[in-house]
Amino acid sequence: MSAPKPAPDLTTLAARAGEEARPNRSAPLVEPIYQSTVYAFADLDDLDRAMSGEEPASFYYRNGTPNAATLERALAALEGTEAALVAGSGMAAISAALLGVLRAGDHVVTDARVYGVTYALLAEEFPRLGIEVSFVDACNHEEVAAAFRPQTRVLHVESLTNPLMTVPDLPALAALAHGRGALLSVDNTFASPAMLRPAEHGADLVTHSVSKYLSGHSAAFGGVVCGRADLMALARTRLLRLGGTMSAFDAWMTLQGLKTLGLRMRAHSGNAQAVADVLVNHPRVKAVYHPGLSDHPQFHLAMDLFPNGFGGMLSAEIEDAPGFVRALAGRIPLAPSLADVVTTLSWPWGTSHRPLPETERRRLGITPGLLRLSIGIEDIGDLLGEFEAALES
Ligand SMILES: *Cc1c(COP(=O)(O)O)cnc(C)c1O
């Protein structure tokens, strides 16, 4: 009897997932980009099998390209879910995931700390469709439980919140939601499946902006939702009718970035922890938000949920934030996104959280002096030297 095959490490899985062996004698090692809006069929039977879904085959671009299908296989493998659905943006994926299971009269409970546009989607668009939403502190389980109603269908949170790096207790929230017949939806963009797989902790819907860590180079744009095949089928119907298809080129680009996910996340995590450790002791830094610091409010939970580190994100309240940004100009760019291989700075007050009312931003701890750091994969000595010089200037 042969020994059972060990499951591959995530680094291996990320490098290989999705692409399937092609039968030709000489086949391209990298899948080509299928830039065709329509596919030709040999006869009516073939077309019928494709249209009915009996034999999955591409037939029209909006319904999915071969590149998107390859990326879906890869992302389902990485998140450890039955299926995945890629979309034209992270917001398209979140919208399709939630609208797949919601209808007028339903109710959603969400962490108030979610990404600014997710907040606006839930606060302003869903009520127009007759879906009510309650905003809570997802770290306060009594508050979460009290917000549930008989009509609550979904609890939505982020696995690491933007920008203060709060860590919700996913197993506890999954138990709470499932106990009341609701689904747990987790935006896993900040963590990536290299750091955390929410489905292992009970999440039913796992979403990402693939424009961030999954693609990793600020050059591909799109989103994904991962989960059970029946939930993905519901989301796919909504997505295709609303027109949220991902482009073949973005799917292809994301797949190239994905191959180094394991290596990149290891480098991002180590560098971010080192930067947090230095900033927290600096006299010109008022506060540092990173789950690997012992004063983080969910430090112990974070260490349990994230055994391999926390990725590259942290935030810091700097004494003279405008001066710090100016001193780093030309080396560390101010760019309102995240997860590039190069380090970038962002200003949550004026960008990601701009849609929130000013009082709500302050209540959440998002002040005008707060900078979010997306730590890249550069040499850590170079990075620390640049930060220290900027703080001294
Ligand atoms: C960027 C981001 C989104 C939105 O994704 P898009 O691809 O920009 O539509 C959603 N959630 C989080 C946590 C993000 O960082």
Segment 48-96, tens digit of pLDDT: 999 998 988 999 999 999 999 999 999 999 999 999 999 999 999 999 9
Of 20-34, 174-188, 248-262, 338-352, which range is least confident? 20-34
Do 245 and 64 contact (CB within 8 A), yes or no? yes
* Mean pLDDT along residues 368-382: 97
Is 350's pLDDT higher than 70? Answer: yes
Alpha-carbon span 247 to 61, nearest angstrom: 8
User: 131 C-alpha vs ligand 1 centroid, how far in Å?
Assistant: 22
Is 270's pLDDT higher than 60? Answer: yes
Give the tens place of pLDDT for each residue, 166-205.
999 999 999 999 999 999 999 999 999 999 999 999 999 9
Residue of minimum CA distance from atom 11 in ligand 1: 115
Is 27's pLDDT higher than 60? Answer: yes
Mapped onto helix, strand or coil, the DSSP state of residue 178 is: helix
Instruction: Give the pLDDT of residue 179.
Output: 98
Ligand 1 mutation pick, 121, 159, 211, 213, max ligand atoms within 8 A of CB:
211
Q: Kindly state the tokens that stand for 321.
A: 């934030």
Instruction: Give the pLDDT of residue 148.
Output: 98
Alpha-carbon span 371 to 200, nearest angstrom: 32
Do 153 and 107 contact (CB within 8 A), yes or no? yes
Q: Kindly state the tokens that stand for 216.
A: 């990793």
Of 28-32, 201-205, 222-226, 266-270, which range is least confident? 28-32
For residue 277, the surrounding DSSP H or E stretch is helix 261-279
Residue of minimum CA distance from atom 4 in ligand 1: 90
The atom number, within ligand 1, closest to the CA of 189 reads 13
> Are domains 10-258 and 261-392 of this chain identical in fold?
no
Alpha-carbon span 294 to 219, nearest angstrom: 35
Ligand 1 mutation pick, 115, 185, 207, 351, max ligand atoms within 8 A of CB:
115
Looking at 3.40.50.10470, 3.30.70.270, 2.60.120.560, 3.40.640.10, the CATH number of the domain 10-258 comes to: 3.40.640.10
- Angstrom CA distances, 66 to 71, 82, 232, 236, 320, stand at 9, 18, 17, 16, 50
- State the pTM of this model: 0.95
CATH topology of domain 261-392: Aspartate Aminotransferase, domain 1 (3.90.1150)
User: 85 C-alpha vs ligand 1 centroid, how far in Å?
Assistant: 16
Instruction: Give the pLDDT of residue 213.
Output: 98
Q: How far does CA 90 lie from the centroid of its chain?
A: 8
Q: Are strands 313-318 and 107-111 parallel, antiparallel or unpaired?
A: unpaired
Is 23's pLDDT higher than 70? Answer: no
Is 1's pLDDT higher than 70? Answer: no
At residue 2 the predicted structure's pLDDT band, cuts being 50, 70 and 90, is low
User: 383 C-alpha vs ligand 1 centroid, how far in Å?
Assistant: 26
The atom number, within ligand 1, closest to the CA of 221 reads 7
Using a pLDDT cut of 90, give the percent of the chain over it. 87
Alpha-carbon span 273 to 283, nearest angstrom: 18
Residue type, 51: M
In 80-134, which residue ranges form alpha helices assigned H by DSSP?
A: 90-101, 116-120, 126-128
- Which residue's structure tokens are 């085959």? 57
Q: Which residues line ligand 1 (CB under 6 A)?
A: 89-91, 115, 118, 158, 162, 187, 189-190, 209, 211-212, 223
Using a pLDDT cut of 70, give the percent of the chain over it. 98
pLDDT higher for 200 or 26?
200
Q: Kindly state the tokens that stand for 183.
A: 């689904």
For the chain, which residues make up each domain, given as ranges? Answer: 10-258, 261-392
For residue 85, the surrounding DSSP H or E stretch is strand 83-87
Do 369 and 347 contact (CB within 8 A), yes or no? no
Residue of minimum CA distance from atom 7 in ligand 1: 90
Residues involved in catalysis = 62, 115, 187, 212
Is 285's pLDDT higher than 70? Answer: yes
Residue of minimum CA distance from atom 8 in ligand 1: 90
